[in-house]
Amino acid sequence: MGEARQVMDRVTETAFDEDQEAVKKLYAPDAVAETPDQGTVRGPDAIAAWFGQFSAAFPDASWESAHKHESGNVAIDEGYVVGTHTGPLAMPGGESIPPTGKSVRVRGCDAATVEDGLVKSHRFYFDQMELLGQLGLAPEA
């Protein structure tokens, strides 16, 4: 296991442990995260806060790993975020969705580029409509 894989595993562990201070320490000062819901998020503080909004909405969330990959300084995770919506879910426009009490299992994938032991860029992918559908908030087809 290389450095990229070790750092990615630590990011996943600290994010789901809701340890924002530990998350911040894993990102370079000029780190950038590309997210499906908030677009580009810059810097360790903002990235940790992005993780924090999901922890607030799904305090029991966990990561169900399906596949782990590593190539050079890039680590990729595929799997599912599993949790129960018991807190407000922040939306991109500043509003929030009140707790629905519904459980979700949403497929996700993320790729992190690691330099000198810190994440330099992190790209997250998940289907927002799948999440909203499982919460009972998506329009019916």
Summarize pLDDT for 65-117 with one digit per residue, the tens: 999 999 999 999 999 999 999 999 988 788 899 999 999 999 999 999 999 99
The CATH number corresponding to 3-134 among 1.10.357.10, 3.10.450.50, 3.20.20.150, 3.40.50.300 equals 3.10.450.50
21, burial (CB in 10 Å: exposed 0-12, middle 13-18, buried 19+): exposed
Task: Determine the Cα angle at 69 with ends 128 and 33, to 5°.
Answer: 45
User: Would you place residue 140 in the very low, low, confident or very high pLDDT band (cuts 50, 70, 90)?
Assistant: low
- HSE-up (13 A, CA, CB side) for residue 101: 0
pLDDT digits (tens, 9 = 90+) for 22-58: 999 999 999 999 999 899 999 999 999 999 999 999 9
- Domains of the chain, by residue range, sit at 3-134
Closest CA to 9 of 112, 126, 82, 80: 112
Residues 6 or more apart whose Cβ sits within 8 Å of residue 60: 83, 84, 86
Residue with tokens 């996700």: 108
Helix (H, G, I), strand (E, B) or coil at 24: helix
